[in-house]
Each structure stands twice: as structure tokens, then as C-alpha cells.
Structure 1
Amino acid sequence: MTQTPTATASSRSASGFDLTPPDGAERARLEADLSPEEKRVLLAHGTEAPFCGTLLGEKRAGLFCCRECGLPLFRTGSKFESGTGWPSFAEPADPGHVRAVQDTAYGMVRTETRCARCDSHQGHVFPDGPPPTGDRYCINSVALTFVAAGEPLPDPLGRGDGIA
């Protein structure tokens, strides 16, 4: 897992997405649109129950985007069945879109994954995934929005960032 620095004002990812963090008013608007469960996971670093997420069996071609800000995080092509009960991915759609943070909660040392734009909690990454990366991004379904190939990406910040 590559450690990605926090985005700064007016930064862009290698794939061209604006990584500028939402300002206070934008953040308040994005957070007001979240359900209680989405707030618990995305904002309070919670975890949904295994085998309950709506995206666990999603196999259509497309992108899995951050539920809070819409940034594309993972592609269907990197999704695999890990047997853990959460959607699992071998790599991000763009390494600059997922930020790694050391998590020492619950007496464990893990690597938490967060959206590089809005800093919302997505899940964790573990070094037990398939080749070629060896990584398993274990992500909460509730933290993601699926966008089928050819459909417009969510753009809650009005930044005009593309099609899946």
C-alpha cells in the first residue's frame, strides 16, 4: 500500500480528479445528506456488519465511489471475493484517491483507508490479497456508491469530474 499524502488546496490526482478537500459549508451539506448508518461508518470510523452490505455481490462493470464526496475509489476489475463479508478490492482506481492512516483502535495495529478528498473512513487494507498487489482493501458497502460503466459519476461538490 502506497502512503499518499493528504491533498492540499487545488491538487489533482494522476487521473485528473480534483482532490481539494470540501470547505466547511460543502462538508456540512455533504454530511447532512448521509443516513445515520452512513454517518456512523464514514464520520465516526464505524464498521458495518459482515455479509450485510448491498455492494458485496456487485459484479457489473463500473466504479465504486466515495458515498460522501463522489470520488472514484475502486474499479469492478479489482474487486474479488475474499470470503470476509465485505467488498474487497486488490487496488484503488487511482492510488492518489485512497489515503492510508495507521489505526491502533481496539488494541490492534491496522491500516485504515480514507477518501483522499473528504477524509471519510472507508475500511482497512490488509497484506493478504491476491497478486499482483497482495493487498486486500476491505471496504464498507455503506461507504461507497456504485456507478455502472457509462453512467455519470456522482458530483455532489459540482466539480465536473467525468463518467464511469
Structure 2
Amino acid sequence: MKKIKTLLIGESPFSGKNYRNLKYSELNIKCKFKEVAFIPKSDTNYNVLSITTYRRILGLLNKCKINEKNRQNFHNDINKLIKQLANDNIYLVNCSELKTLDFKNNYRNYISVDTNIICFGKVAYEYIESIGLSNKIYHCPHPSGHVHHNFWDKYNKDKNSYAKSSSIEKLY
């Protein structure tokens, strides 16, 4: 396996009972990672597009805002996109899997000093920071729907947008 160009790191796998993380092996991608972070797969008919984390990452990976009109098309192309990213040595992995792989002591087997590392959430960021790498490390808010940060406004248009405070103040 070539050294990784960019590593996007989440916290832990999905824990929903109706969905799980997509596996790299399901896409015939040969790599040292098992699960594709942030990308759900349902073995039932569960609508994975209802998962805020997934919609936000879908927008980030496609470099556009995901909305009701375009999200099904981007979802339909997710396997192709993950394959292309892997072909370009870009991987999505969870911090929990890196810990299982003892990444802290074996990171040289995965990355070079030129690898960009993007951490989503405090857990991923603190774990990577604890290694003491000289790489460029980017800390981004976690994509969970429990996290309300304007970072995600660029990538996901949620159905229930809040009114702006300035417009409310004009009503009274």
C-alpha cells in the first residue's frame, strides 16, 4: 500500500441498529483499514440519508451543499467516490480503528510526513495530537447532528433551518 495522501478521521463506527459502516472490502478496496468512516450501509431498507453525519460528510466529500434535490444522486455515487478517493490514497477511518491497529506506535507504516490529517471531533483530534506527528493536522467539528457549528452550513442544508435572530427581533 502506498503512503496515504490524506486521512480523514472520525471517532467511532455507527452504532445504529439499522445501519453500520461500509467496509472497504465490500468495494474491493485493498487497504489496511476495515471500515469506511462516516459512510453508512443499511442491510435493511433504512434511509441512510436521514443521518445528519452522513449528509454532512457527503457534502464535504463532494465539495458542495447537500439538499433535498441533490442528495439522492450523491448518495447513489458514494461507492464510486470512495473508490476514487482510495485510488488517490485518501481514506476515511475512525479513531477507534486506528487504536486497534496501534497506529500510535505504527503510524510510519501508514503515513509519511506529507500526509494531511483531518480530524473530526475532539476524540480524533486529541488522539492524533497525542502521537506528536509533524504532519499538517486539521481539527474540524464532528459531523454529528448533535454538533451545531457553522462549519457544516457549507455542506448540508437541513430541512429545519432556524430563523435568523435579527429577523425575529423585528417582530416585537
Q: TM-score, normalised by structure 2?
A: 0.23
